[in-house]
Structure 1
Amino acid sequence: MTVRTCAAVAVIFVSAGCGASSTQEKPLPPLNAKAVTLKDGFTTMERLAETAKKEGSLTVMALPRDWVNYGEIIDTFSDKYGVKVNELEPKASSTREIQAAAQLKPDVFDLSLDVAVANADKFAPYKVSGWQDLPDHVKDARGAWYAGYGGYMSIGYDPRKVAAPASFSDLLKPGYTVALAGDPLRNAAGFNGVMAASLTQGAPQTRRGVELFTKLRQGGRLTEPAKANVVVDWDHSNAARAAADADAWKVTIPKDAPLGAYYVQAINKDAPHPAAARLWEEFLFSDEGQNLLQKGFARPARGEAMLMRGTLDTEQAGKLPVAPGPPVLLTIPQEDAAKSYLKRAWVG
């Protein structure tokens, strides 16, 4: 709306001295559901939300409801915007998401960084409203993918049975029965568990990690998570378990192995619900969405900027496992080299 002679009452159609004839409505630009920004595609969040609601639903994949609080996030999004969320294959891997996309047609992806980088041509570029808050090294310059949350590899342990390990090498001491969160040849958490144990002065030495877990296996002390008193997993997973029973589970991030990683978001370029897909990303990267991720003990990608603005839930932030310092982030070449080595050297 514009008012020719009474700027002070720009939101009022009729007021003293300003008749209705002095107002005119500026038409909104046409919708572009595949635009790269909110402003270019929908002008406002209200218009985006209205368009998404008309589409009727959003299809997600590989989002376990107990993973970084996705259950509450999905329910909050659905209730807030009146968009039904179809949840497919919650336990699927990042690779499976890509492989099944043509058949299952998810609107959005939640992926490990390496899978996202390798498949960037399958995504629709979109820069969320909080784009400038995201560190440059964890987002694609074109907007194909962008980090939503991250975490550190950690050691979860039962304090009733073992002492707190100060390093991965401590796990070789008597009494520790150890599990990885998954098969390192197929599971990102399992792979990164081996890589965290491989760090030497901040650099990965894959052989070192493989040798540690080989010794545990040979000693009969590498087992499955349900039987272990130590589980090597992302800190948000171990922290969620500790929050459920603090007496039975603790979590630590070894000072000499601060391996971190981000999970990134992307929109399917063939998304059946393009507006709902963009609304989902706007919600995930809003202050509300980022705080909900942190409630699941993840480290929100916009966390530093939110802290500076006073919008970060600092009470919840204080419940996260203490980080020993900035994370070591593996490069794609380092990951590729490590995976090649594991294919040759890992015995399942």
Structure 2
Amino acid sequence: MKPKTSLVCLVALLSTSALAACAPPEDDSQDSGAGSDAASATSLDDFGSMDDLVAAAEEEGELNVIALPPDWANYGEIISTFQEKYDIKINSAQPDAASQDEINAADQLKGTDRAPDVFDLGQSVALANTDMFAPYQVETFDEIPEEFKDPDGAWVNDYGGYMSVGYDSTKVPEVTSLEDLLGPEFKGKVALNGDPTAAGAAFSGVVMASVANGGSADDIKPGVDFFADLKDAGNFLPVDPTAATIESGQTPVVIDWDYLNAAESAKVDGWEVFVPEEAPIAGYYFQAINADAPHPAAARLWQEFLYSDEGQNLWLKGGARPVRADAMVEAGSIDQELYDALPEVTGTPVIPTNEQTETMAAYLADNWAKAVG
């Protein structure tokens, strides 16, 4: 699952190539005229046509992505489909990295051909680093609701879901509220997907706990208090959950996005998914292009692919809700069977605004470690 490994591990894995690339490689795509043009392109019009963009991207021949686990919202199939469709090799670095690790890697590897070309980020990390993004409006930009994109295309929401509790019903009682997780039956069993100061899923998990305990998107303190109580009860399990830890039974209760927890239902007998009616926290991830992308044309082609009907339906296949879903339903281009199979969520969705997210992130930065560790 996404957002785990620290930058230390990332740099260790990339150390040989990173050290060899301390100076920009002679064949760096940004040194060419075509690369420079691609790096400043803000829409398909700057290339002339989709065929021209494809040609420029295939000339670069590579795309660097980071923090995209194959089992996260169907990214494995998305990556393989893109590679089969275009003559471009995708270099996928540290799939289990957190959103903040993506930004750290871009800083560490800036000026080399190993830097990430694109980002897939949680809201709080994305909004804190918009100066690193290259504005680009994909061909389907007008079909994306205004509230889910930067007006210039510096960032665009891509896919989303609801925060949930996944649990092995053969090991713990039925979960009917977050309050249940404080009971003795859950001792040492409740895991949160990441550190909420660095990972989008964990951040939204704390928001869910806050709303369920009398807080709101304007007040995340009750959520921090809930996890402090969970720790004091001995129920909080300080293990970052993955498909492997779930399937082995190491993390029998996981607070994570519904599309990730739902994917485990097909693998683990008795795995159930609960979205609290009193706290249906919805959220989208943020897609952006690294302004210093070593493969700027490939980065823009990747965005075009992700926001095409094909790319959006591939996220839907992973159980996530694509940002263009409404427009695709109206146009008849969505995979209706997959769309109809999405779990029904009751209650009024809570989607924190950018301003609320920034305020909550600041509170977490000051208080999470002191309260939970």
Q: Give the TM interval when normalised to the shorter protein.
A: 0.7 to 0.9
2:183 alignment counterpart: 173
Which letter maps to 2:94? E
2:4 alignment counterpart: none
**1:213-232 to 2 correspondences below 5 Å:** 213-223=227-237, 224=239, 225=241, 226=245, 227-232=250-255
Percent identical across equivalent pairs? Answer: 49
1:71 counterpart = 2:71: no
2:16 alignment counterpart: none
Root-mean-square deviation (CA), in Å? 2.2
1:343 counterpart = 2:371: no
1:8 alignment counterpart: none
1:81 counterpart = 2:49: no
**1:194-343 to 2 correspondences below 5 Å:** 194-199=206-211, 200=214, 202-203=216-217, 205-223=219-237, 224=239, 225=241, 226=245, 227-245=250-268, 247-330=269-352, 331-343=356-368
Q: Distance in 2 between matches of 1:325 and 1:342?
A: 29
Give the direction of change, closer, same or farther, for the CA distance of 1:52–1:92 in structure 2 (3 Å limit): same
2:14 alignment counterpart: none
Q: Is the 8 A contact 1:198 1:204 kept in 2?
A: no
Q: Tell which has more relative contact order, 1 or 2 (C-alpha 8 A, sep 6+).
A: 2
Q: What secondary structure sits across from 1:63 in the alignment?
A: coil
Q: Distance in 2 between matches of 1:158 and 1:81?
A: 41
Give the direction of change, closer, same or farther, for the CA distance of 1:321–1:191 in structure 2 (3 Å limit): same
1:141 alignment counterpart: 151
Which letter maps to 1:243? A
Q: Distance in 2 between matches of 1:207 and 1:313?
A: 40
1:124 counterpart (127, 134, 138):
134
**Residues 181-211 of structure 1 deviation map (CA, whole Å, 9 limit, x = unaligned):** 2233443322321221110375454332233
**Residues 38-97 of structure 1 deviation map (CA, whole Å, 9 limit, x = unaligned):** 1x2223222211221111111111111121111110110011011111111222222221
Give the direction of change, closer, same or farther, for the CA distance of 1:272–1:211 in structure 2 (3 Å limit): closer
Q: Is the 8 A contact 1:64 1:91 kept in 2?
A: yes
2:168 alignment counterpart: 158
Q: Is the 8 A contact 1:154 1:252 kept in 2?
A: yes
**TM-score, normalization: structure 2?**
0.79
1:17 alignment counterpart: none
Q: Distance in 2 between matches of 1:343 and 1:231?
A: 19
**TM-score, normalization: structure 1?**
0.84
Computing the radius of gyration from Cα coordinates, the structure with the larger value is 1
Which letter maps to 1:67? W
| Residue 282 (structure 1) shift | 0.3
**Residues 89-139 of structure 1 deviation map (CA, whole Å, 9 limit, x = unaligned):** 222222221222141321111111222222222211100111112121221
Q: Is the 8 A contact 2:279 2:347 kept in 1?
A: no
2:11 alignment counterpart: none
**Residues 291-346 of structure 1 deviation map (CA, whole Å, 9 limit, x = unaligned):** 11111111111111111111111222233332224531222333234314533642
Q: Is the 8 A contact 2:127 2:358 kept in 1?
A: no
| Residue 250 (structure 1) shift | 1.3
Give the direction of change, closer, same or farther, for the CA distance of 1:141–1:326 in structure 2 (3 Å limit): farther
For structure 1, the residue ranges without an aligned partner over 5 or more in a row are 1-29
Q: Is the 8 A contact 2:58 2:298 kept in 1?
A: yes
State how many pairs are aligned. Answer: 317
| Residue 251 (structure 1) shift | 0.8
Q: What secondary structure sits across from 1:160 in the alignment?
A: coil
Q: Is the 8 A contact 1:138 1:147 kept in 2?
A: yes
**1:106-117 to 2 correspondences below 5 Å:** 106-117=116-127
